[in-house]
């Protein structure tokens, strides 16, 4: 399992291929500008560090300081060490190009802090680099004191002794520059670690959500299977009544016996169909039992009365000619409305809910809309209800549409296919008896 890790143990991943390509282009560009600036410096005779070495050596030190930036994020500590060492030696050799060289040094220190995989080691290397540079700065000042001309500070007018002011200024400016390089490198590494933590936490939340969804699916499947079990048991009981009726009237009234046998045939087909659905659900998951359920689409209005009592304005309509429904389908339609009402009360903040049941030629359509906050599937608890709806609709080969409405609110619409049935088996059984 992935963990967040502490600030000392987390290792920053290396740069992407795109970042490596960008480093190469930047390194080449900085190197080219450094060589061009070296040419300008030499042409202007700006040799502030003393007589310069030969032109090839000057170019070599410019390359040694700037070219390693092309791989700065791949090998940050190596680049920081090489650039700082080349910078010190270049100053010892009085290489005249220092503008781009100084910028490259700061960039290398920043990259060592931001991209080194071992952050503890990075701190040690950066402290060593900064300490070595500052030591060289103080040493160079001490070595050059005797060569300062007597009239170098002829125009000095401040309260601080001019030589001391010069030394403090050099040390202070360099300390601030190196401090900023160290600080921003540290902040970049911390930001990368926080981003990693957020990604890990997001992955853990996604896994937890998926696991919770799976548990909800399994629980809903068993609940549906339990309801289907009740339906199958009902049909088998009806078949027993029909068989007894047929046996009693077989000799006296063959027509009534034939009617009872037809009802048995229809009940058997319905029971087998419901049993198939139940077994299909049980093969896909298990969960906790919740006890029997004896609800159906005829009890939707009673359900909505409870919503009215809870303070909702309820509109309810039945469209088309109602037809006998299999018990499992009737229960599924009821559960769709029940879950929609529950989500509206708990998550939507709605004032009105509109429930419509439509008996179409080949489909039963159940629709629930409200005027609350759209997108409640993202709210805690609401998504599990939608999972249960999908399972019920899928068990009957139907379709489910859920989502915010353009004019505001939320819509749940389920469509169940209707198969042609000659008669309701229970009614046929009563006629046979």
| pLDDT value for 151 | 65
Mean pLDDT, rounded, for 175-199: 91
Q: How many residues does the chain have?
A: 433
| pLDDT value for 383 | 56
Share above pLDDT 90 across residues of the chain, in percent, rounded to a whole number: 32
| pLDDT value for 391 | 79
Residue 324: pLDDT band with limits 50, 70, 90: confident
> Rounded distance, CA 419 to CA 81, Å?
79
Q: Which residue has the higher pLDDT, 78 or 241?
A: 78
Mean pLDDT, rounded, for 3-7: 46
Beta carbons within 8 Å of 65's beta carbon, 6+ residues apart = 34, 83, 86, 87, 90, 100, 101, 104, 105
**pLDDT over 50 at 84, yes or no:** yes
> Rounded distance, CA 20 to CA 188, Å?
17
DSSP 347: I
Beta carbons within 8 Å of 314's beta carbon, 6+ residues apart = 304, 307, 308, 352, 353, 354, 355
> Rounded distance, CA 368 to CA 347, Å?
15
| pLDDT value for 363 | 92
**pLDDT over 90 at 292, yes or no:** no
Q: In this predicted model, what pLDDT tens digit does every residue of 254-286 receive, in sequence order?
A: 777 777 677 776 667 666 666 666 665 555 544
Q: Is the dihedral of CA 172, 173, 176, 177 positive or negative?
A: negative
Pull the structure tokens for residue 71: 């791989």
Which region holds residue 13: left if phi is over 0, alpha if psi is between -120 and 50, else beta? Answer: beta
**pLDDT over 90 at 21, yes or no:** yes
Mean pLDDT, rounded, for 233-258: 71
**pLDDT over 80 at 41, yes or no:** yes
- CB of 336 within 8 A of CB of 414? yes
- CB of 165 within 8 A of CB of 153? no
* Token pair 């039945």: residue: 318
Which region holds residue 356: left if phi is over 0, alpha if psi is between -120 and 50, else beta? Answer: beta
- CB of 353 within 8 A of CB of 312? yes
User: What is the CA 24 to chain-centroid distance, rounded?
Assistant: 32
Going by C-alpha positions, the residue among 133, 265, 114 that lies closest to residue 192 is: 114
| pLDDT value for 377 | 46
- CB of 266 within 8 A of CB of 198? no
Burial of 307 (0-12, 13-18, 19+ CB in 10 A): buried
| pLDDT value for 427 | 41
**pLDDT over 70 at 294, yes or no:** no
**pLDDT over 70 at 288, yes or no:** no
Q: Which residue has the higher pLDDT, 152 or 69?
A: 69
Q: In this predicted model, what pLDDT tens digit does every residue of 120-147 receive, in sequence order?
A: 899 999 999 999 999 988 888 887 776 6
When mean pLDDT is compared over 90-94, 193-197, 350-354, 364-368, the highest value belongs to 364-368
């Amino acid at each position: 399992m992935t963990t967040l890790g502490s600030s000392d143990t987390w290792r920053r991943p290396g740069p992407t291929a795109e970042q490596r390509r960008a480093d190469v282009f930047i390194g080449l560009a900085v190197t080219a500008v450094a060589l061009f600036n070296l040419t300008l410096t030499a042409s202007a005779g700006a040799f502030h560090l003393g007589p310069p070495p030969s032109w090839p050596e000057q170019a070599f030190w410019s390359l040694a300081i700037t070219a390693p930036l092309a791989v700065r994020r791949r090998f940050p500590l190596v680049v920081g060490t090489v650039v700082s060492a080349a910078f010190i030696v270049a100053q010892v050799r009085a290489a005249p190009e220092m503008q781009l060289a100084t910028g490259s040094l700061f960039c290398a220190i920043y990259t060592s802090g931001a991209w080194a995989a071992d952050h503890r080691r990075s701190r040690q290397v950066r402290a060593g680099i900064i300490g070595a540079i500052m030591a060289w700065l103080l040493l160079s000042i001490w070595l050059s004191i005797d060569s300062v001309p007597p009239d170098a500070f002829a125009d000095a007018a401040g309260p601080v002794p001019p030589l001391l002011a010069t030394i403090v200024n050099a040390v202070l400016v360099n300390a601030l520059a190196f401090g900023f390089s160290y600080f921003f490198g540290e902040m970049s590494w911390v930001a990368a670690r926080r981003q990693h933590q957020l990604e890990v936490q997001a992955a853990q939340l996604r896994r937890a959500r998926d696991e919770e969804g799976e548990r909800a699916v399994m629980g809903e499947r068993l609940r549906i299977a339990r309801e289907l079990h009740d339906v199958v048991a009902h049909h088998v009981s009806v078949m027993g009544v029909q068989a007894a009726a047929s046996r009693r009237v077989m000799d006296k009234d063959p027509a009534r016996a034939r009617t009872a046998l037809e009802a048995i045939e229809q009940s058997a087909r319905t029971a087998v169909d419901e049993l198939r659905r139940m077994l299909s659900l049980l093969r896909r998951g298990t969960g906790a039992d919740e006890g029997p359920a004896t609800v159906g689409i005829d009890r939707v209005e009673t359900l909505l009365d409870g919503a009215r009592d809870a303070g909702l304005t309820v509109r309810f309509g039945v469209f088309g000619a109602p037809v006998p429904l299999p018990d499992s389908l009737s229960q599924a339609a009821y559960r769709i409305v029940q879950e929609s009402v529950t989500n509206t009360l708990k998550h939507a903040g709605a004032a009105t809910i509109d429930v419509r049941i439509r008996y179409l030629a080949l489909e039963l359509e159940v629709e629930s809309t409200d005027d609350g906050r759209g997108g409640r599937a993202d709210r805690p608890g609401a998504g599990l209800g939608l999972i249960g709806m999908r399972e019920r609709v899928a068990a009957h080969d139907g379709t489910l549409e859920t989502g915010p409405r353009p004019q505001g609110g939320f819509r749940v619409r389920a469509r169940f296919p209707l198969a042609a049935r000659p008669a309701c088996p229970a009614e046929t059984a009563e006629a046979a008896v």
